[in-house]
Chains A and B, each alone.
Chain A
Amino acid sequence: MITNMTSGLDFQAKALVLRAERQRVIASNIANADTPGYVARDLNFKDAMLQATGADSSSGLRTGSSNPQGGATNGMTHPAHIALSGAAGGSLGGSSHLAYTAQSQPSLDGNSVDLDRERANFTDNAVRYEATLRFINGQSKTLLSAIQGQ
């Protein structure tokens, strides 16, 4: 019963942690915009979220075409394999989804940060982070008013 009540909150909480993670990665890119040889990175939010929710049936992320296991197999190729405790389906904040961004304008010093794109990503991610926060606030207010019954 209580899981049904909080599963929606749980989903948003995972999204919030992943948004914070992505915010951090983009901040690193902006900080290293002038560093020679630095390669920009980014977090694939969709994959990370699919892995984080894993077998969570309450998630709203059932995108039709993707494989049913999502990214939650963690390199296990046989059903008898034992999942690593640190890399279980619900793990958050792992760096397994960090990819290297494609270079839009190659530069001689090997730096692949596109500052305009990073700033756009940063703002976009900040807005989505705030949206997730508001979802959490709204859901918790709904739960509280249901509990209090007033």
Chain B
Amino acid sequence: MSMFSIFNVSGSAISAQSQRLNVVASNLANADAVAGPDGQGYKGRQVVFETVPMGSDASAGVRVSSVNESNDPLRKVHNPSHPSADADGYVTQSNVNPIEEMVNMISASRSYQNNVEVMNTAKTLLLKTLQMGQ
């Protein structure tokens, strides 16, 4: 039954989107984290999606092929009174842009909702098919 593979396809998309949401959550949580003694602050992460064929050639699921660290420069804030400030009075913070992350979050949650709706519709149709002839 070809419609059953919708659950595999949408399920893979849901799991990929939730991983993306997870990465956004850790980025946002660390947005204001300051660098430790080694001077290395938190670097924002981004997931990379990749199409993965499922069964026949028409079904295409998604998977996260890699999680990349951002190479943007770390943010430096002038705050001489901070205990982690360097000799010039600068504190190194993460390179996460909270606005970008919020947009990313909304996009991920909308895509997640879309795929849940696809699964619900497919489930309704399959249940109605089961009742055929009754």
A→B interface (CB under 8 Å): 16-17, 20-21, 23-25, 27-28, 30-38, 41, 43, 93, 95, 98, 115, 119, 122-123, 126, 129-130, 133, 136-137, 140-141
A120 to chain B, nearest CB (A): 12
B→A interface (CB under 8 Å): 1-3, 5-6, 9-10, 12-13, 17, 20, 48-51, 56-62, 107, 111, 114-115, 118, 121-122, 124-125, 128-129, 132-134
How far is A66 from B124 in the complex, measured between Cα atoms in Å? 36
How far is A13 from B52 in the complex, measured between Cα atoms in Å? 30
Residue from B5, B17, B124 within 8 A of A24 (CB atoms): B5
Residue from B13, B58, B107, B125 within 8 A of A130 (CB atoms): B125
Q: In terms of DSSP, what is the predominant structure of the interface of chain A?
A: helix
How far is A94 from B72 in the complex, measured between Cα atoms in Å? 47
Q: Are B114 and A33 in contact (CB under 8 A)?
A: yes
Q: List 18 A-B contacts (CB under 8 A).
A: A20-B3, A23-B122, A24-B2, A24-B6, A24-B9, A27-B9, A28-B58, A32-B13, A35-B51, A38-B51, A38-B60, A95-B56, A119-B114, A126-B121, A130-B128, A133-B128, A136-B132, A140-B133
